[in-house]
Amino acid sequence: MYFVSIKNQSIICMKKNVLITGASGNLGSSIVKKFIDEGYYVIGIVHQSSTLTALYKENYEEIVLNLLEEEKCLSAVQTIVQQKKIIDVAVLTAGGFAMGNIANTNTAAVYKQYQLNFETAYNMARPVFLQMLEQNAGRIFFIGSKAGYDTTKAKGVTAYALSKALLFHVAEIMNDEAKEKNVVTSIVVPSIIDTLPNRKDMPDADFSKWVTPLQIAEAIYFYASEKAAAIREPIIKLYNQS
């Protein structure tokens, strides 16, 4: 994906920029590949260095960052903007999961999931959102969950569901604040994602009914593209057959 500007009668082609947290994870790495394949420049946010820089070379750069450190997240976004001028898309995949019903979920367990799934997303989304308002363009994607979207499906995953539910409310608030702008915050709601860890945990399941990381990446790319520019629906359900 390129846009072309003319300066001093020469044509300059500049790639669009996408910021992806959890870039080296099962889902994040598929999203990295999809956007690079489509011509984007990817800034990957990771907790520790990965092999993606060597794999994608000039189309990818990596920032090692603890997403729980709010000021460092703000500084990272400011540095990206200084270097790249614009952040076109942000996909925030970093997070975590935990089992637990009400009986065995104390406030410490809730807070841990809150940090993993809400703070890590909000600390990056907030400065990115403010930058997108200033540039009057941008798409932000949170990764939600069925349990967070519909708490009748949250049995056995209390803390996880509560932390994910907050993301839906943040998206609503951001979309209300951006009503007059070309900025949209969406929530991707996948069913069980077809990853090796999930297959190991549920070996008797029908994997063909799950949604793959590639399918999620392709959906996010579409909603970030010009073809979906008029769509402001914040919830993107990717359930496949499960």
Torsion of CA 133, 139, 142, 147, to 10 degrees: 110
pLDDT band per the 50, 70, 90 thresholds, residue 20: very high
> Tens digit of pLDDT for each residue in 106-157?
999 999 999 999 999 999 999 999 999 999 999 999 999 999 999 999 999 9
Mean pLDDT of the chain: 92
- pLDDT for 14 equals 75
**Residue 5 — pLDDT band, cuts 50, 70, 90?**
very low
Lowest mean pLDDT among 2-16, 88-102, 222-236: 2-16
Q: How far is CA 204 from the centre of its chain?
A: 29
Q: Which pLDDT score is estimated for 49? A: 93
Tokens 């003319």 -> residue: 6
- What pLDDT, on the 0 to 100 scale, is given for residue 142? 98
> What pTM was estimated for this model as a whole?
0.93
Rounded-to-integer distance, Cα 43 and Cα 32, Å: 9
**pLDDT tier, 37 (very low <50, low <70, confident <90, very high otherwise):** very high
Written as six digits, the tokens of 105 are: 């979920």
Q: What is the mean pLDDT of residues 30-57?
A: 95
Per-residue model confidence as pLDDT tens digits over 154-180: 999 999 999 999 999 999 999 999 999
Q: C-alpha distances in angstroms, 9 versus 6, 59, 95?
A: 6, 26, 47
β-strand pairing of 235-238 with 183-190? parallel
pLDDT confidence bin for 9, thresholds 50/70/90? very low
CATH of domain 2-238: 3.40.50.720
The answer to whether residue 67 scores a pLDDT higher than 50 is: yes
Whether residue 192 contacts residue 210, with contact meaning beta carbons closer than 8 Å, is answered with yes
Q: What pLDDT, on the 0 to 100 scale, is given for residue 197?
A: 87
Residue 106 CA to residue 221 CA, distance in Å, equals 38
| pLDDT tier for residue 241 given thresholds of 50, 70 and 90 | confident
Q: Return all residues near 131 (Cβ < 8 A) that are at least 6 apart.
A: 77, 81, 87, 138
pLDDT tier for residue 4 given thresholds of 50, 70 and 90: very low
Please state whether beta strands 17-21 and 89-92 pair in parallel, antiparallel, or not at all (unpaired): parallel
Q: Which H, E and C letters describe the chain, residue by residue?
A: CEEEEEECCEEEEEECEEEEECCCCHHHHHHHHHHHHCCCEEEEEECCCCCHHHHHHHHEEEEECCCCCHHHHHHHHHHHHHHHCCCCEEEECCCCCCCECHHHCCHHHHHHHHHHHHHHHHHHHHHHHHHHHHHCCEEEEEECCHHHHCHHHCCCEHHHHHHHHHHHHHHHHHHHHCCCCCEEEEEEEECCECCHHHHHHCCCCCHHHCECHHHHHHHHHHHHCHHHCCCCCCEEEECCCC
Cα–Cα dist 102/35, whole Å:
40
The mean per-residue pLDDT over the stretch 185-196 comes to: 94
